[in-house]
A and B are shown apart, each in its own frame.
Chain A
Amino acid sequence: MSDLQNDQNSKSDAPTGVLGWLGERYQIQGLIDYLAKKEVPSYRHSFWYYMGGLSLLFFMVQIVTGILLLFYYTPGKEAYSSVKFIVEKVEFGWLIRSIHSYAANLMVFFVFVHMFSVIFMKAYRRPRELTYITGFILLALSMGMGFSGYLLPWDELAFFATKIGMNITESVPLIGPIMAGMLKGGPEVGFDTISRFFALHVWGIPLLMIGVLGAHMFFLQVQGISEPDGFKALPVEKQKRVKFFPTFMYDDFLIWLIALNGLIVLAVFFPWGLGPEANVMAPTPEGIHPEWYFMAMFQILKILPNIGPLESEHIGNIIFGLTGAILALIPFWGNNRERLVSYFTIAVLAGLIIFSILAYHAVGSI
């Protein structure tokens, strides 16, 4: 019976075909062997290991659908009509744009989930500080992608959401007005702003993201996935691990398949809408609000008071800036403050959820 438990396959022969051709010229086999040697712990919470992969999947979906949208989209005065043309006239344009919009939101969502799960599993610890920080930068960049992309269709919601965002930027002391001016490209949010956001959305931020993402994944591959305390505390015979290649990658792929199914169901059953064209002179419509991941900030700004010489936006900027900085620097708090890190993160998470609910309640969605 003993040979049944032994499921080790004998090492396969050298690959043939394309892989073989490449292998003769480059050290492909080395890479495969390296990946095959890597192991990922398999236990009750290994579910969370797939969050980063899902974020990556949605990022790739964004690149593909984004390039497709670029074939028809025109920034500037024709922005709105070109998006309208895409969703109404171009064959399957509605599908591509819907997928792009949903995948954007899902990407931000999974990056958030990924970050919080990493913090709670204490995967940011030495020696993975840089993996964490690049991850944090990726979160900020994802939100930047969301913010810059939101304006591009130039519908009513997009216009006012951007206007609010620009006013917040402007209230940052000293550099705020300069930054806002550079982003807006004029005294007010207008067609020039579309061109600038467009440049950032399709080249500036994505290039940065690809670079940072490369570093992030490189660090991950070099150091391997972190094993949490609970797993390490298990007796050795209970520490189950699976091979990164192919087992974990197959699983990853199947989870992507589920995610793609979900994405297509969303796009087919609830196609993303396009509001009326923005009118710079029209009054702000009722119930205006930004995307969900800015909702908590939106609500906090609404309820903050003016204290002495500080206006409420200034206080908001201080709060958001400090929270962001503290979160970003979690790996450097020190080993004896891990409990504090957990409490702080729980507080931030709770704050995000509560203020988002309040915000949706305030605009009448809940």
Chain B
Amino acid sequence: MNFPFWQAGDGFFGLLFILTKTLFTLTTLSAFGAGVFLALGEKNPLFDSHSGYREFMKKFTGFVLFVVTVLGTVSYSALWIIYILTAPATLSTIVHEFVWVWILQGFAYLLEVGSLFVLYSTFNKVHKENHVDLAWSFAILSLITLIISNATLSFQQTPGHWLNTLKFEDAWFNASYLASLSVRILVSVQTGGILALLVISTLDKGKLKTEVASHAASFVIYPFILLPFATLWFLATIDPGMVDYLAAGFSGVEEGNLSVLTRFVFLAVFSAVSVFIFTLLGAVLNADGFKRSMGFWLVILAFTAAGSTEFVRTLLGNPYAIAGYMYNNGIKINDADQFSEGFLAKAKWTVIKEVTDENILAAGKELYMYQFSGATVSGGYNSLFSLAKAATNVQETLDLINQIKWGSESNLYAAYVPSFLGNDSEANALASYVAWKNGVFEPTPEQIAYLKKFETAPAGLVQ
């Protein structure tokens, strides 16, 4: 495991992370859909006969160029920075496993951007047939990027045989690969349509707008028919435990007992249905009224749908970064037995190696930082603090920690948080720290002073 450089456990960074991830997902996905739209759009006879239409196509190509290059690279680099800072171990494992994939993906992306740039700059300059071919090549290159990135993403959810063989091809052709790819392609077509609708919302009302809007809307509407089936297929391929976890969240809906996961599933469904209605009523039936503000709201709805789906996907993977292989705090399952005998002594980067009465809070904080803070990137909903909220003293907090200990049979939270690794005195230290943070434990001044030292000048405390 590596040291997480940055504690991303609190709500703001969690939200930022999800927003960045959503922006990135949407921009990468949109490229293929937009490419298909461009290629088909140039085939439309209007392209030759109507100058307003050609103008629209050029405007749209420029917009896609902006999205794919600017938004794509900005969100991509932001995501890398967040990843490097918060989950270096996960990143290193995935990069290690997929180093060729990464290079290939980068190469495909460069080609994709290049072809798009050529497409944009050769408007009205090359023969029409060639231009359509250019549009197709952009679409195909985007599809290749999509196929490659899908491999790394679906691998994290269902590593399957790879856990035993550690072979590259087992990682690539993992169980959820095809299902996940089909979902992505459908959504990709939809995002392409939504980008087109955003540009269409800036057009003046008239017959052209009506015509193009309903064309773009079909990109959004038709995939909705297949999307439920693709989603069911995807659910059938992932770990049944995750599906149970999802179903369990719904069992309490009637009584208002909703898990965070369930709330976001609701949000995803509501906003997806709203995208459908918006497209149908706004762009198809009433294209004249489809103004800039409507385009804006459509994008917001689509972003909400994609963002909440992304969040659900992340939560479903919890508490693993790679299912069954590595917890999202960067600890590999193979090392768990070893760590459970004494975490602080075995882990490389720890300042405190042994728990004493004086350093109990500091040791607790260190255990928390390594094992739990990085694991609840997503806003702290399932953070240890909220799980332990009901405890009224250190003993009750300790009971909870023993319950989530590695190897515990009664762990109710195995699907939410990584198991605790450490010996009894470490469990006690963590319990004291959590109980103190939750306001049910009164430490001595020495303990607090030691914690202050640990927080401000940890180097001096190295044992």
A residues with a Cβ closer than 8 A to B are: 1, 3-7, 42, 47, 87-89, 91-95, 242, 246-248, 250-251, 253-255, 257-258, 261, 264-265, 268-269, 271
**Contact A5 B206, beta carbon cutoff 8 Å:** yes
**Contact B289 A247, beta carbon cutoff 8 Å:** yes
**Contact B256 A95, beta carbon cutoff 8 Å:** yes
Knowing A242-B289, A261-B270 are in contact, say whether A4-B52 is a contact too (CB < 8 A).
Answer: yes
A250: B residues at CB distance < 8 A? 281-282, 285-286, 289
19 A-B pairs whose Cβ atoms sit less than 8 Å apart in the complex? A4-B52, A4-B206, A7-B205, A42-B291, A88-B256, A91-B255, A242-B289, A250-B289, A251-B289, A251-B291, A254-B278, A254-B294, A254-B297, A258-B274, A258-B297, A261-B270, A261-B271, A265-B267, A268-B267
B270: A residues at CB distance < 8 A? 261, 264-265
**Contact A271 B256, beta carbon cutoff 8 Å:** yes
Query: Separation in Å of the B305 CB from the closest CB of chain A?
Result: 10
State whether the Cβ of B210 lies closer than 8 Å to any Cβ in chain A: yes
A258: B residues at CB distance < 8 A? 274, 297, 301
B297: A residues at CB distance < 8 A? 254-255, 258
State whether the Cβ of B288 lies closer than 8 Å to any Cβ in chain A: yes
State whether the Cβ of B266 lies closer than 8 Å to any Cβ in chain A: yes
Minimum-distance CB pairs A-B, first 7 = A94-B256, A91-B254, A250-B286, A247-B289, A251-B289, A7-B206, A7-B207
Among B50, B208, B256, B294, chain A packs the most CB atoms within 10 A around the CB of B256
10 more A-B residue pairs beyond the given contacts A42-B291, A92-B256, A261-B301, with a C-beta to C-beta distance below 8 A: A6-B207, A88-B256, A93-B256, A242-B289, A253-B281, A255-B297, A258-B274, A258-B301, A264-B266, A268-B266
B291: A residues at CB distance < 8 A? 42, 251
Contact residue among A88, A246, A251 (Cβ-Cβ distance under 8 Å from B255):
A88
State whether the Cβ of B258 lies closer than 8 Å to any Cβ in chain A: yes
Contact with A along B248-276 (1 / 0, CB 8 A): 00000111101000010011001100100
A246: B residues at CB distance < 8 A? 285-286
State whether the Cβ of B293 lies closer than 8 Å to any Cβ in chain A: yes
Knowing A4-B207, A257-B274 are in contact, say whether A92-B254 is a contact too (CB < 8 A).
Answer: yes
- Bound Cα distance from A258 to B205, whole angstroms: 23
- Bound Cα distance from A258 to B270, whole angstroms: 10
- Bound Cα distance from A246 to B290, whole angstroms: 12
State whether the Cβ of B74 lies closer than 8 Å to any Cβ in chain A: no
- Bound Cα distance from A53 to B294, whole angstroms: 16
Contact count A vs B, C-beta below 8 Å: 77
A94: B residues at CB distance < 8 A? 255-256
**Contact A268 B282, beta carbon cutoff 8 Å:** no
Closest to B254 in A: A91
- Bound Cα distance from A210 to B219, whole angstroms: 43
Query: Separation in Å of the B278 CB from the closest CB of chain A?
Result: 6
Query: Separation in Å of the A292 CB from the closest CB of chain B?
Result: 24
State whether the Cβ of B277 lies closer than 8 Å to any Cβ in chain A: yes
A251: B residues at CB distance < 8 A? 282, 286, 289, 291, 294
B266: A residues at CB distance < 8 A? 264, 268
**Contact A268 B263, beta carbon cutoff 8 Å:** yes
**Contact B286 A247, beta carbon cutoff 8 Å:** yes
Query: Separation in Å of the A273 CB from the closest CB of chain B?
Result: 11
Query: Separation in Å of the A38 CB from the closest CB of chain B?
Result: 14
Closest to B277 in A: A257
Query: Separation in Å of the A234 CB from the closest CB of chain B?
Result: 16
Contact residue among B210, B255, B278, B288 (Cβ-Cβ distance under 8 Å from A257):
B278
Query: Separation in Å of the B296 CB from the closest CB of chain A?
Result: 11
Among A4, A94, A254, A264, chain B packs the most CB atoms within 10 A around the CB of A254
Closest to A92 in B: B254
**Contact A254 B282, beta carbon cutoff 8 Å:** yes
- Bound Cα distance from A92 to B266, whole angstroms: 14
- Bound Cα distance from A251 to B293, whole angstroms: 10
